[in-house]
Chain A
Amino acid sequence: GQQVMQIPQYQHVQEGEDFTTYCNSSTTLSNIQWYKQRPGGHPVFLIQLVKSGEVKKQKRLTFQFGEAKKNSSLHITATQTTDVGTYFCAGHSGAGSYQLTFGKGTKLSVIP
Chain B
Amino acid sequence: EAGVTQSPTHLIKTRGQQATLRCSPISGHTSVYWYQQALGLGLQFLLWYDEGEERNRGNFPPRFSGRQFPNYSSELNVNALELEDSALYLCASSSGFSGANVLTFGAGSRLTVL
Contact = CB atoms under 8 A, between A and B. Distances in A.
Contacts of A50: 100
A45 B26 CA distance: 15
Contacts of A41: 107
A45 B103 contact: yes
Interface in B59-114: 90, 92, 97-100, 102-108
Nearest to A10: B40
Interface of A: 30-31, 33, 35, 41-45, 48, 50, 88, 90, 92-94, 97-105
Contact of A100 (B42, B103, B104, B106): B103
Contact of A43 (B41, B90, B98): B90
Contacts of B102: 33, 45, 48
B11 interface: no
Instruction: Give the one of A31, A48, A99 with max B CB within 10 A.
Output: A99
Contacts of A42: 90, 105-108
B42 A104 contact: yes
Contacts of B56: 98-99
5 contacts: A30-B100, A45-B103, A98-B55, A102-B35, A104-B42
A89 to B, nearest CB: 11
Contacts of B92: 43
B103 A98 contact: no
Instruction: Give the one of B55, B100, B106 with max A CB within 10 A.
Output: B100
B105 A102 contact: no
The 3 tightest CB contacts between A and B, nearest first, are A92-B99, A104-B42, A98-B97
A98 B106 CA distance: 20
